[in-house]
């Protein structure tokens, strides 16, 4: 099996070439007045800097005998960023990070603990960190989508929710339809992604393993494990975040709060 | 004896008191019309009674029991509410009626049919899509939803304001019939003086969050409290424009 056929230095040259391609495409976008230039440039630069920094940190961790201690620092940074990013999608909820952070952490932790304790995930930094990143990242995405949709549903259906409460429904019962809609909507991208595995998409983990020269069958097995983990994590996260959000959207007396 | 009694009721939104001090009551088989200018706190009174909003001062009692001692869902089952804009749930009329019955585990056994007929809709409506009904029909479905769970009182928050005159008259007639047939205690917020004069047994006039007058309809000083609006009763029903029956 082949290794990645270039050194990190050669890789930088290739990166520069793709950057040139981006500049060409962005110039076209500017000419067409698409208005996406600034955001794309900022995110490209941010992505570049963040990933490069992360790569440097990873190199240090992989070489360190105390990698297990350092991993906790990485996890903490991931969790804080994920909770904060997701909370920004729900400005209507006061201190939303108080519900996004635990939803993301618990959702991801359950899957990671099961994978670690059963040795499905080898306890080595090159497995633990990327898999945790996938778990936290997907958990964050789904958390943001769920909250965003849930608040939209509550705003659009405020009168129906109050009509249900006026019939004696509890806050959980009155919001059931909107919770389900939000959870389903948040999971659609992932479910569609999973349905089309190997047909339209060759997902990230498998791509990485194939490029690193792994056996396709092994790469596929690993990818499926990753997807199952992501599904479990995200479903758990949506359940947790909706449960906690409802507590914030209603009072104890089953009154809908202003959002 | 009053079925619902509220005393010194006050509600604040931020720094503003939407309702300062309101005292009143309603008996079974009676309609109390709550009238007053926009922003006088009429709807807030209703929302504090069934605790869709929490009063910041004062007390509400149902048959002598403070509502804070009653579980909100149980309180709201006893005191139904109909809003200005009909809030039907997606699905058929029957599914709308069953919504509350499922919560309270009430077997159908003809309950839905009786309620539907009581609000003036024939049984053919049961399988119709509630969202495709006219505004007036939807409002009657909302009334029936409270009947099927056995509400003993109704809080009506301008239930005809979003309807055209013809639909409004039908809904108004339905409510008057329900008062007679079911002995319901009804608190009816209306911006229409004409409507208040037609339906009310007693009238409660609110202004700037305070009760300025509370008197039997025949003794209520319409000229003094609602001034020019009083003349409106002789020329028009006073309903807003809106959805057609």
Whether B16 shows a pLDDT value over 50: the answer reads yes
The residues, any chain, with a CB within 8 Å of residue A106's CB and separated by 6 or more, are A236, A237, A240
> pLDDT tier at A13 (50, 70, 90 boundaries)?
confident
* Cβ–Cβ < 8 Å for A62, A126: yes
B84 pLDDT higher than 50: yes
How far is residue B45's CA from residue B32's CA, in Å, rounded to a whole number? 12
pLDDT-based confidence at residue B237 (cuts at 50, 70, 90): very low
What is the chain B residue with the closest CA to A173? B103
In the prediction, which pLDDT does A175 show?
96
Q: Mean per-residue pLDDT for B6-24?
A: 95
Say if B11 is an interface residue toward chain A (CB within 8 Å): no
In the predicted model, is pLDDT for residue B200 greater than 60? Answer: yes
Cβ-based contacts of B84 with chain A (< 8 Å): none
Q: Which residue shows structure tokens 């409802």?
A: A246
* Coil/strand/helix, residue B216: strand
Q: What is the reported pLDDT for B71?
A: 97
- The number of beta carbons lying within 10 Å of the beta carbon of residue A242 is 25
Q: Which residues pair with B82 in a beta bridge?
A: B156
Q: Which helix (H) or strand (E) holds B174?
A: helix B165-182
pLDDT exceeds cutoff 60 at B235: no
Share of chain B above pLDDT 70, in %: 93
Per-residue pLDDT at B229: 56
Per cent of chain A over pLDDT 90 is 56
B44/B10 Cα distance (integer angstroms): 9
- The pLDDT value recorded for residue A188 is 93
CA–CA distance, A87 with B215 (Å, rounded to integer): 52
How many C-beta atoms surround the C-beta of residue A117 within 10 A? 10
Whole-number Å distance between alpha carbons of B149 and B104: 7
Please state, in angstroms and rounded to a whole number, the distance separating the CA atoms of residues A108 and A87: 17
Per-residue pLDDT tens digits for B125-177? 999 999 999 999 999 999 999 999 999 999 999 999 999 999 999 999 999 99
| A64-103 confidence digits (pLDDT tens) | 988 888 999 999 999 999 999 999 989 999 999 999 999 9
Q: How far is B225 from chain A (nearest CA, A)?
A: 32
Cα–Cα distance for residue pair A84/A62, rounded to 1 Å: 27
pLDDT mean over A196-214: 85
8 A C-beta contact, residue A105 and residue A200 = no
Question: Across the strands, what pairs with B25?
Answer: B5
pLDDT at res. A41: 86
Identify which of A147, A61, A154, A135 has the alpha carbon closest to the alpha carbon of residue A97. Answer: A147
Burial of A130 (0-12, 13-18, 19+ CB in 10 A): middle
- Contact between residue B87 and residue A159 where contact means Cβ atoms under 8 Å apart: yes
Per the prediction, chain A carries an average pLDDT of: 91
> In the structure, what pLDDT confidence band is assigned to residue B241 with cuts at 50, 70 and 90?
very low
Q: Among residues A124, A129, A132, A127, which one has the least CA distance to residue A104?
A: A132
Task: Give the per-residue pLDDT at B39.
Answer: 92
Does any CB of chain A come closer than 8 Å to the CB of residue B102? no
First and final C-alpha spacing in chain A: 57
Q: Identify which has the larger pLDDT, B229 or B65.
A: B65
- Neighbouring C-beta atoms of residue A36, cutoff 10 Å: 12
- A121-149: per-residue pLDDT in tens? 889 998 899 999 999 999 999 999 999 99
Confidence of residue A38 (pLDDT cuts 50, 70, 90): confident
pLDDT at res. B233: 46
Q: Which two tokens stand for residue A133?
A: 């990143």
- Residue B236 pLDDT > 60: no
Q: Which ranges of A64-170 would DSSP assign to H, the alpha helix?
A: 67-87, 97-117, 125-156, 158-166
Residue A30's pLDDT band (cuts 50, 70, 90): confident
Instruction: Reply yes or no on whether the pLDDT at A29 is more than 90.
Output: no
CA distance B3 to B22: 17
Regarding predicted confidence, which is higher, A79 or A30?
A79
Task: Give residue B238's pLDDT band: very low, low, confident or very high (50, 70, 90).
Answer: very low
What length is written for chain A? 259
Cα torsion A116, A122, A128, A134: sign: negative
Q: What is the DSSP string of B128-159?
A: SBGGGS-HHHHHHHHHHHHHHTT-SEEEEEST
Facing A160 at nearest CB: one of B52, B74, B87: B87
Q: Which residue has the tokens 């596929």?
A: A220
Beta strand pairing call for B16-27 and B2-13: antiparallel
Q: Does B97 contact A at CB distance below 8 Å?
A: no
Range A99-111 average pLDDT: 96
Residue A4: pLDDT above 80?
A: no
All residues of chain A having their beta carbon less than 8 Å from the beta carbon of residue B101 are none
- In this prediction the ipTM stands at 0.91
Per-residue pLDDT at B234: 44
- Report the percent of chain A where pLDDT is more than 70: 98
- Determine whether the interchain pair B52/A164 forms a contact, defined as Cβ–Cβ distance below 8 Å: no
Q: Which of A162, A163, A176 to mutate to test the interface with B (most CBs of B within 10 A)?
A: A163
Q: State residue A11's pLDDT score.
A: 81
For residues B129-164, one letter each, b for 16 or more C-beta atoms within 10 angstroms of the residue's C-beta and e for the rest, the string is ebeebbbbbbbbbbbbbbbbbebbbbbbbbbbbbbb
pLDDT (0 to 100) of residue B56: 97
Using pLDDT thresholds of 50, 70 and 90, give the confidence band for residue A9.
Answer: confident
Closest CA to B50 of B140, B154, B143: B154
Better-predicted residue by pLDDT, A37 or A216: A216
Looking at the complex, does the CB of residue A207 fall below 8 Å from at least one CB of chain B? no
When CB atoms are compared, the residue of A164, A168, A173 closest to B74 is A168
The arithmetic mean of pLDDT across residues B225-245, rounded, is: 50
Q: What pLDDT sits at residue A39? A: 81
Please indicate whether, in this complex, the C-beta atoms of B72 and A163 are within 8 angstroms of each other. no
Six-digit token string for B49: 């009674």
- Nearest to residue A203, comparing CAs of A226, A228, A175, A234? A226
Question: Which one of A160, A167, A253 makes the best mutation probe of the B interface by having the most chain B beta carbons within 10 Å?
Answer: A167
* Residue B3 DSSP symbol: E
Cβ atoms of B115 and B126 within 8 Å: the answer is no
Listed range (A98-107, B40-49, B120-129, B221-230) with the worst mean pLDDT: B221-230
Q: What is the CATH number that goes with domain B2-83+151-232? A: 3.40.50.300
């Amino acid at each position: 099996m082949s290794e990645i056929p270039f050194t990190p230095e050669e890789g930088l040259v290739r990166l520069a070439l793709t950057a040139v391609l981006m500049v060409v495409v962005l110039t076209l976008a500017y000419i067409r007045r698409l208005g996406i230039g600034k955001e794309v440039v900022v995110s490209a630069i941010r992505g570049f800097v963040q990933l490069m920094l992360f790569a440097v940190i990873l190199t240090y961790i992989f070489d360190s005998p105390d990698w297990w201690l350092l991993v906790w620092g990485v996890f903490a940074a991931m969790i804080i960023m994920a909770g904060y990013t997701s909370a920004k999608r729900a400005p209507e909820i006061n201190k939303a990070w108080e519900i996004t952070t635990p939803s993301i952490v618990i959702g991801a932790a359950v899957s990671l603990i099961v994978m670690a304790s059963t040795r499905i995930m080898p306890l080595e930094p090159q497995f633990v960190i990327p898999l945790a990143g996938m778990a936290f990242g997907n958990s964050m995405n789904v958390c943001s989508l769920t909250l965003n949709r849930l608040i939209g549903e509550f705003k659009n259906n405020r009168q129906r929710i109050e009509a249900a409460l006026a019939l004696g429904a509890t806050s959980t019962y009155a919001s059931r339809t909107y919770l389900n809609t939000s959870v389903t909507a948040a999971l659609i991208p992932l479910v569609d992604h999973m349905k089309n595995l190997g047909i339209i998409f060759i997902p990230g983990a498998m791509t990485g393993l194939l490029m690193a020269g792994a056996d396709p069958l092994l790469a596929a097995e690993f990818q499926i494990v990753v997807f199952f983990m992501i599904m479990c994590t995200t479903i758990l996260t949506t359940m947790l975040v909706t449960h906690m959000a409802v507590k914030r959207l209603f009072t104890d007396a089953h009154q809908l709060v202003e959002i | 004896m009053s079925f619902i009694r509220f005393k010194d009721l006050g509600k604040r939104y931020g720094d503003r008191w939407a309702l300062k001090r309101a005292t009143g009551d309603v008996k079974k088989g009676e309609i109390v019309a709550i009238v007053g200018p926009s922003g006088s706190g009429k709807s807030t009174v209703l929302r504090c009674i069934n605790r869709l909003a929490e009063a910041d001062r004062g007390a509400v009692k149902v048959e002598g029991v403070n509502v804070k001692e009653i579980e909100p869902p149980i309180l709201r089952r006893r005191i139904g509410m109909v809003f200005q804009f009909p809030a039907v749930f997606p699905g058929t009329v029957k599914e709308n009626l069953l919504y509350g019955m499922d919560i309270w585990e009430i077997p159908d056994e003809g309950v839905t049919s009786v309620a539907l007929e009581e609000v003036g809709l024939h049984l053919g409506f049961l399988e119709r899509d509630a969202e495709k009904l006219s505004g007036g029909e939807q409002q009657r479905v909302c009334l029936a939803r409270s009947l099927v769970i056995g509400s003993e009182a109704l809080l009506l928050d301008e239930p005809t304001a979003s309807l055209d005159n013809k639909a409004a008259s039908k809904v108004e007639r339905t409510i008057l019939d329900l008062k007679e047939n079911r002995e319901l205690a009804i608190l009816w917020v209306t911006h229409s003086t004409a409507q208040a004069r037609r339906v009310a047994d007693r009238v409660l006039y609110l202004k700037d969050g305070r009760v300025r007058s509370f008197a039997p309809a025949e003794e209520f000083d319409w000229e003094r409290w609602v001034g020019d609006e009083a003349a409106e009763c002789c020329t028009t029903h006073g309903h807003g424009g809106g959805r057609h029956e």
